[in-house]
C-alpha cells in the first residue's frame, strides 16, 4: 500500500466521520416539536450517506451489473438495512414488527454476498462448486443464524443499556475487523467498512452535543451487518482464517458481560460501559497482533530473511 492509498483511506475516514456527525446534528438541532425518532433517523441516514461518500473517495462505488461481494453489499444488503432501520426509528410501539425484515436480511445476507462464487456455483462444466447443496445449506444457514442471533443480542443490549458504549464497541469491532481483513490481502473488502466504523464513531461523538441521546439501535444494526459483510469478504474471498473471523464476530458477545446480575450490581453505568468496550476490544486486539506481525513479515523482502544454511543442506543438495 503506497502513500497515496493511505492518504485516500485517511480522507475517506475523515469524510465518513464528518458526514455522519453533521447529518446527526442537523437532525438533532433544537427546534419546535423535535422528536427523538427524527434524531435517531439522522444517525442511520448519516452513517449510510457517509459510507457511500467514503466509497466515492476510495474509488469503490458499486459497479453495475454487480459482480463482486462489495457491489452486492452496497447495492442490495446495506441499503436494505438502512431502509429497515430508518423506518424502525419511526415505528414507535410497532418497532418489534421490524424484526421480520431484519431476520429476512440476516437469512439472505451470506447468500447475497457469496452469489456467483465458486462456493455455490460451479466454475465450469467440468469442475463442481466447492460446496455440495447440503454443505451450502449448512454454511449459509449457520451464517444466517449467527447474524440474526448477534443482531438480536445487541438490540436487546441497546434496550437494556441505552448509553453509547454498545455503539462504541460495535464501531471498535468493525474497525479492528476491517483492518484485519485489509492486512490479510483484501484491502478492497476492508476499506469501506473501516469508513463505516468511522461514520459510527462520528455519530457517537456528535451525539455528545445533543441534549438527548438518540436511539442507538439503528446504527448498531448498520454496524453489525457491516461487520458480518467484512468478515465474509475476508474469510471467503480473502485470507482471513476461520478462527480469526469467528473471534472477531463473536467478540461482541462479551459486551453483555457487564449486564450479568453480579457485575451489574457492583458497577455504575459508566463503569459498565467502559468495561463493555474494553471486553470487546480485548479479543479484537488479540487477533490483530498476529495478523499485523504476519503482514509485516510478508512485506519484508525474503533476501533480508535468509534461511540459515547448514552442511546438511549441502549434503542433501539435489536429493
Partner 1 sequence: MYQRFVGSVLAVGCLVIVGGFNAARAEDSYTVDDVHSSVTFKVSHLGLSNIHGRFDSFTGDFTIDENDPSKSHFGLSIKADTVDTNNAGRDTHLKSPDFFNTKQFPTISFKSTAVKAIKQGYEVTGDLTMHGVTKPVTMILEGGKKAEFPKGTQCTGFSTTVALKRSDFGIGDKSTDSIGDDVVISIGLEGFKKK
- What does the binding site for partner 1 look like in residue numbers (CB under 8 A)? 2, 4-5, 58-60, 63, 67-70, 116-119, 123-124, 127, 185-189, 233, 236-239, 298-299, 302
Pick the closer one to partner 1 by CB: 189 or 218. 189
CA neighbor of 169 nearest in space, from 284, 15, 271, 54 = 284
Pick the closer one to partner 1 by CB: 9 or 206. 9
Q: Minimum distance between the CB of residue 261 and partner 1, rounded to whole angstroms?
A: 45
- If you ran DSSP here, which 8-state letter would residue 307 be given? P
Q: Minimum distance between the CB of residue 289 and partner 1, rounded to whole angstroms?
A: 19
Q: Minimum distance between the CB of residue 161 and partner 1, rounded to whole angstroms?
A: 36
Cβ contact 182:174 at 8 Å: no
Q: Which three cell numbers stand for residue 242?
A: 476461520
Pick the closer one to partner 1 by CB: 300 or 316. 300
Pick the closer one to partner 1 by CB: 58 or 201. 58
Q: Minimum distance between the CB of residue 208 and partner 1, rounded to whole angstroms?
A: 35
Pick the closer one to partner 1 by CB: 55 or 84. 55
In terms of residues, how long is the chain?
319
Contacts 24+ apart (CB under 8 A), 239-243: 239/184, 239/185, 239/186, 240/180, 240/181, 240/184, 240/186
Non-local CB neighbours of 82 within 8 Å, separated by 6+ positions = 44, 45, 47, 48, 222
CA dist., res. 232 & res. 69, Å (int): 9
Q: Minimum distance between the CB of residue 80 and partner 1, rounded to whole angstroms?
A: 21
Q: How far apart are the first and last CA of the chain?
A: 40
- The b-or-e profile of 190-226 (16+ CB within 10 A means b, else e) is bbbbbbbbbbbbbbbebbeebeebbbbbbbbbbbbbb
Cβ contact 231:248 at 8 Å: yes
Q: Minimum distance between the CB of residue 256 and partner 1, rounded to whole angstroms?
A: 33
Q: Minimum distance between the CB of residue 55 and partner 1, rounded to whole angstroms?
A: 12
Pick the closer one to partner 1 by CB: 140 or 201. 140
Pick the closer one to partner 1 by CB: 38 or 295. 295
Amino acid at each position: 500500500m503506497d502513500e497515496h492509498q493511505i492518504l485516500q483511506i485517511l480522507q475517506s475516514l475523515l469524510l465518513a466521520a464528518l458526514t455522519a456527525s453533521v447529518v446527526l446534528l442537523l437532525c438533532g438541532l433544537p427546534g419546535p416539536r423535535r422528536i427523538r425518532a427524527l434524531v435517531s433517523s439522522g444517525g442511520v441516514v448519516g452513517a449510510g450517506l457517509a459510507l457511500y461518500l467514503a466509497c466515492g473517495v476510495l474509488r469503490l462505488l458499486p459497479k453495475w451489473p454487480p459482480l463482486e461481494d462489495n457491489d452486492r453489499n452496497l447495492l442490495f444488503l446495506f441499503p436494505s438495512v438502512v431502509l429497515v432501520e430508518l423506518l424502525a426509528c419511526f415505528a414507535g410501539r410497532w418497532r418489534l414488527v421490524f424484526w421480520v425484515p431484519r431476520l429476512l436480511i440476516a437469512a439472505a445476507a451470506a447468500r447475497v454476498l457469496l452469489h456467483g462464487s465458486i462456493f455455490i456455483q460451479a466454475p465450469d462444466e467440468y469442475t463442481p462448486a466447492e460446496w455440495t447443496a447440503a454443505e451450502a445449506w449448512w454454511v449459509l444457514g449457520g451464517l444466517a443464524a449467527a447474524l440474526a442471533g448477534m443482531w438480536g443480542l445487541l438490540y436487546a443490549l441497546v434496550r437494556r443499556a441505552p448509553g453509547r458504549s454498545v455503539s462504541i464497541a460495535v464501531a471498535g469491532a468493525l474497525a479492528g475487523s476491517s483492518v484485519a481483513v485489509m492486512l490479510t490481502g483484501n484491502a478492497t473488502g476492508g476499506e469501506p467498512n473501516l469508513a463505516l466504523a468511522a461514520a459510527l464513531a462520528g455519530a457517537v461523538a456528535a451525539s455528545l452535543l445533543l441534549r438527548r441521546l438518540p436511539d442507538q439501535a439503528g446504527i448498531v444494526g448498520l454496524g453489525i451487518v457491516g461487520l458480518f459483510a467484512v468478515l465474509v469478504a475476508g474469510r471467503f474471498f480473502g485470507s482471513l482464517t476461520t478462527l480469526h473471523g469467528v473471534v472477531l464476530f463473536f467478540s461482541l458477545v462479551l459486551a453483555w458481560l457487564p449486564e450479568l446480575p453480579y457485575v451489574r450490581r457492583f458497577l455504575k453505568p459508566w463503569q459498565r460501559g467502559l468495561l463493555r468496550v474494553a471486553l470487546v476490544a480485548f479479543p479484537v486486539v488479540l487477533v490483530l497482533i498476529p495478523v499485523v506481525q504476519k503482514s509485516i513479515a510478508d512485506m519484508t523482502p525474503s533476501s533480508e530473511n535468509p534461511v540459515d544454511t547448514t552442511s546438511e543442506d549441502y549434503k542433501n543438495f539435489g536429493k
